[in-house]
Amino acid sequence: MATSSSLDAKIPQGPIETKWSKYKSSVALVNPANKRNLEVIVVGTGLAGASAAATLAEMGYKVKAFCFQDSPRRAHSIAAQGGINAAKNYQNDGDSVYRLFYDTIKGGDYRAREGNVHRLAEVSGNIIDQCVAAGVPFAREYGGLLSNRSFGGTQVQRTFYAAGQTGQQLLLGAYSGLQRQVGMGTVKMYNRHEMLDVVNIDGKCRGIIARNLITGEVERHGGHAVLLCTGGYGNVFYLSTNAMGSNVTAAWKAHKRGAYFGNPCFTQIHPTCIPVSGDHQSKLTLMSESLRNDGRIWVPKKKNDTRPGNEIPEDERDYYLERRYPAFGNLVPRDIASRAAKERCDAGYGVGSSKLAVFLDFAAAVERYGKGEANKNNIANPSKEDITIWGKAVVKEKYGNLFDMYKQITGEDPYEVPMRIYPAVHYTMGGLWVDYNLMTTVPGLYALGEANFSDHGANRLGASALMQGLADGYFVIPYTIGSYLAKEIGTGKISTDHPEFVRVEKEVTDRIQTLMSIQGKTSPELFHRRLGQIMWEKCGMARNAQGLKEAIVEIRALRKEFWKDVKVMGGKNEFNPELDKAGRVADFIELGELMCLDALTREESCGGHFREEHQTEEGEALRDDENFMFVSAWEHKFEEEWELHKEELVYENIKIAQRSYK
């Protein structure tokens, strides 16, 4: 592993408040006649991809968009529950662009780039305007104006939402804009197509190789720029809150063709998910962070206590978050809440059949709300039963859909017994390294949304993922892509007959052929599970040097075994989910190795990355700003070999400090 620090993020000069506006007014433009001759390929149709494809088409570019699902509307942005942040200050509670910028940098544990984050905060308000204009039915107050709620890590109410389905509503908004362009013929949509490689010609990205998942046909698609909006790689852990199809393949192929991978080890573990119920488990389901507003988290004081939660008396309960963090209590940020749950379970205090769960209890909230209702209705001495009934009604109104979902999945009634929750992989802050223009280290190849590494540092705040995806697609890329495409107007149509297209296509088909011909004994699914186990055990919520070193050895062995023993059923020239899965798992295995390498190299604890060697006496994360205030950008060299490039992080507008929530 070699290292260098040669990365230029191309942040515009000048004060932070004017960087973006100055950039916008000085960036090169492409005239409308030329835009018609420039083709842009957009891979992935989540918030970032759908908004980018629609916007670029509106501007006049010829756009081709790809998604592996049966419709662009299925992208996993749809599953986001809580909301989207914007510095509108509609609540008059002192919010501002600077505060959103500051909260995001601090929440990211000082590992994000100032210039990008400030731009994100600047455009956040425009996103809400755009979405409302497109017909997104956000929650409103009786006066007809937009409603806001608060989220973790902030002291203002800046989160816009649509019940517990904000991601769905935003995606459907972006999707409708995309479908409008499809109808007008300005976007050519390729559903059920998976990108399997990028094609670079003379140092520039000139297209992709994609496979039609219905017919199995491998296709070449040329373009003057390629945008990867392909989401995160949380499924490297096998079990995560990601969709079953979410994968790293597009980003990984780009990485192997020259795009650096930024901070791969930064993963977010969400504290409130429904625990694993058995070996059959295929994915994990999130319970919105908003539940921590009213729920109290606890474990029994006695080890291996098997009594049902509601039968354990008050003085035998350990409300460990309130005990450890009296100032923030149950509302500490995600990374801290997750680690605390793991600590208790590891120490033997876990609950449920797996012992890998803690209680999230609404009994106190029910009583508090019940008494409040009694007061409201002037009832002096309400009975305990009445208080419970009224309290449950209030809780139902606030969280009814989440309680129903919990009951549906676990078969337990959370109104009667405390919920069981456990942390789960949720989001990946790491991703393809991009500069201020969102361009990767390959000219003409861009990464947007969760697929890039840029805005969340080492930990993402709630309701910021939707904001970033739409910011990148609606308001950033339409400007920044001009600086590149303005120089491409003389290129002419990209011919897919170029030898490089032929060569890359052959590599893709050869790999498919290899996967099909191994015919070993183990299904791709089982390899995926084994990879997930390694990653979760050794590169999960807590990591140490020894574990990571072991993990690298194990993953390498797994990779070799995979290519000897994988069994892919079906044919290659037909609809074959097994083949799709095999290709994705093969890429996850390679990524897993890089994640462990990155985690091993980052000898500090920050945000979602917790190295057990680097903690305070109280067990809190210990950052090392002197030696690690940089972005790790990994360049792929050969199999099992990467070179580390460092992008130093400079904080000119924010004073860095140790996070404390005590």
Partner 1 sequence: MSAGNMHIKLKVWRQSNSNTNGGFEDYSLDGVSPDMSFLEMFDVLNEQLIEKGTEPVAFDHDCREGICGMCSMYINGQPHGPLRGVTTCQLHMRSFNDGDTIVVEPWRAEAFPVIKDLVVDRDAFDRVISAGGFVSVNTGNAQDANSLPIPKVDADESFAAAACIGCGACVAACKNASAMLFVSAKISQLALLPQGQAERSMRAEKMVAQMDAEGFGACTNTGACAAECPKEISLENIARMNREYIGAKLSSSNV
Is 588 a binding residue for partner 1 by CB under 8 A? The answer is no
- The number of helix segments (H) and strand segments (E) in the chain equals 18, 20
| Contacting residue, 96, 126, 212, 533, with partner 1 by CB under 8 A | 126
Compute the distance between CA of residue 578 and CA of residue 572 in angstroms, rounded to an integer.
10
Q: Of 279 and 385, which CB lies nearer to partner 1 in the complex structure?
A: 279
**Which tokens is 181 given?**
């362009």
The catalytic residues are 334
Nearest to 654 by CA among 83, 91, 121: 121
| Contacting residue, 567, 572, 601, 615, with partner 1 by CB under 8 A | 567
Q: How far is the CB of 127 from partner 1 (least distance, A)?
A: 9
Q: Of 26 and 282, which CB lies nearer to partner 1 in the complex structure?
A: 282
| Contacting residue, 4, 281, 513, 546, with partner 1 by CB under 8 A | 281
Is 73 a binding residue for partner 1 by CB under 8 A? The answer is yes
Is 569 a binding residue for partner 1 by CB under 8 A? The answer is yes
* 137 C-beta neighbours (distance < 10 Å), count: 13
Is 248 a binding residue for partner 1 by CB under 8 A? The answer is no
Q: How far is the CB of 490 from partner 1 (least distance, A)?
A: 27
Is 247 a binding residue for partner 1 by CB under 8 A? The answer is no
Is 145 a binding residue for partner 1 by CB under 8 A? The answer is yes
Number of residues that bind partner 1 (CB under 8 A): 87
| Contacting residue, 177, 223, 391, 583, with partner 1 by CB under 8 A | 177
Is 91 a binding residue for partner 1 by CB under 8 A? The answer is no
Q: Of 89 and 441, which CB lies nearer to partner 1 in the complex structure?
A: 89
Instruction: Name which of residues 207 to 246 contact partner 1 (CB under 8 A).
Output: 214, 241, 243-245
Nearest to 266 by CA among 543, 647, 654: 543
- What DSSP state is assigned to residue 11? P
| Contacting residue, 22, 188, 283, 302, with partner 1 by CB under 8 A | 283
Instruction: Name which of residues 609 to 628 contact partner 1 (CB under 8 A).
Output: none
Sequential DSSP letters for 239-283 = SSSS-TT--SHHHHHHHHTTPPEE-TT-EEEEEEEPPP-STT---
Compute the distance between CA of residue 131 and CA of residue 50 in angstroms, rounded to an integer.
13
Q: Specify the 3-state DSSP secondary structure of 342.
A: helix
Q: Of 582 and 591, which CB lies nearer to partner 1 in the complex structure?
A: 582
Is 308 a binding residue for partner 1 by CB under 8 A? The answer is no
Is 168 a binding residue for partner 1 by CB under 8 A? The answer is yes
Compute the distance between CA of residue 8 and CA of residue 434 in angstroms, rounded to an integer.
10
| Contacting residue, 405, 432, 534, 551, with partner 1 by CB under 8 A | 405
Which residue is it, tokens 């058995």? 278
Q: Which residues share a beta bridge with 606?
A: 609
Is 54 a binding residue for partner 1 by CB under 8 A? The answer is yes
Instruction: List phi, psi (to 5°) of 342.
Output: -60, -40
Q: How far is the CB of 33 from partner 1 (least distance, A)?
A: 19
| Contacting residue, 37, 410, 601, 615, with partner 1 by CB under 8 A | 410
Q: Of 137 and 326, which CB lies nearer to partner 1 in the complex structure?
A: 137
Q: Of 180 and 302, which CB lies nearer to partner 1 in the complex structure?
A: 180
Span from 69-77, 223-231, 293-301, 380-388 in contact with partner 1 (CB under 8 A): 69-77
Is 428 a binding residue for partner 1 by CB under 8 A? The answer is no
Angle formed at CA 577 by CA 575 and CA 581, multiple of 5 degrees:
140
Is 18 a binding residue for partner 1 by CB under 8 A? The answer is no
In sequence order, which ranges of 413-498 are alpha helices (DSSP H)? 465-470, 477-485
Q: Of 72 and 391, which CB lies nearer to partner 1 in the complex structure?
A: 72
**Which tokens is 543 given?**
């990591």
Is 33 a binding residue for partner 1 by CB under 8 A? The answer is no
- What DSSP state is assigned to residue 78? G
Burial 618-627 (b: 16+ CB within 10 A, else e): eebbbbeeee
Nearest to 4 by CA among 650, 641, 635, 442: 635
Is 322 a binding residue for partner 1 by CB under 8 A? The answer is no
Q: Which residues share a beta bridge with 154?
A: none
Is 578 a binding residue for partner 1 by CB under 8 A? The answer is yes
Is residue 38 within 8 A of residue 61, CB to CB? The reply is yes
Residue 561 vs residues 425, 510, 519, 644: alpha-carbon distances, Å = 26, 19, 12, 27
Q: How far is the CB of 100 from partner 1 (least distance, A)?
A: 16
Compute the distance between CA of residue 429 and CA of residue 592 in angstroms, rounded to an integer.
15
* 293 C-beta neighbours (distance < 10 Å), count: 16
Span from 160-168, 419-427, 445-453, 637-645 in contact with partner 1 (CB under 8 A): 160-168
| Contacting residue, 21, 70, 639, 658, with partner 1 by CB under 8 A | 70
Is 400 a binding residue for partner 1 by CB under 8 A? The answer is no
Is 481 a binding residue for partner 1 by CB under 8 A? The answer is no
Q: Of 287 and 621, which CB lies nearer to partner 1 in the complex structure?
A: 287
| Contacting residue, 22, 24, 139, 486, with partner 1 by CB under 8 A | 139
Q: How far is the CB of 530 from partner 1 (least distance, A)?
A: 14
Is 377 a binding residue for partner 1 by CB under 8 A? The answer is no
Compute the distance between CA of residue 199 and CA of residue 220 in angstroms, rounded to an integer.
9
Q: Of 472 and 598, which CB lies nearer to partner 1 in the complex structure?
A: 472
Q: Which residues share a beta bridge with 84?
A: 160
| Contacting residue, 19, 35, 64, 76, with partner 1 by CB under 8 A | 76
* Residues with Cβ within 8 Å of residue 308, at least 6 apart in sequence: 417
Instruction: Name which of residues 323 to 362 contact partner 1 (CB under 8 A).
Output: 353-354
Helix (H) or strand (E) holding 516: helix 499-518
Order of strands, sheet of 296-300, starting from the edge strand that comes earlier in the sequence: 267-273, 419-428, 358-361, 296-300, 317-318
Q: Specify the 3-state DSSP secondary structure of 446.
A: strand
| Contacting residue, 393, 443, 478, 630, with partner 1 by CB under 8 A | 478
Is 29 a binding residue for partner 1 by CB under 8 A? The answer is no
| Contacting residue, 19, 39, 61, 72, with partner 1 by CB under 8 A | 72
Compute the distance between CA of residue 576 and CA of residue 258 in angstroms, rounded to an integer.
29
For the CA atoms of 359, 363, 365, 368, the dihedral, rounded to the nearest 10 degrees, stands at -150
| Contacting residue, 143, 490, 492, 499, with partner 1 by CB under 8 A | 143
Q: Which residues share a beta bridge with 635?
A: 643
Q: Which residues share a beta bridge with 4?
A: 645
Q: How far is the CB of 273 from partner 1 (least distance, A)?
A: 11
Is beta strand 225-228 parallel, antiparallel or unpaired with respect to 317-318?
A: unpaired
Q: How far is the CB of 105 from partner 1 (least distance, A)?
A: 25
Is 277 a binding residue for partner 1 by CB under 8 A? The answer is yes
* 327 C-beta neighbours (distance < 10 Å), count: 9
| Contacting residue, 475, 527, 536, 628, with partner 1 by CB under 8 A | 475
Q: Of 472 and 593, which CB lies nearer to partner 1 in the complex structure?
A: 472
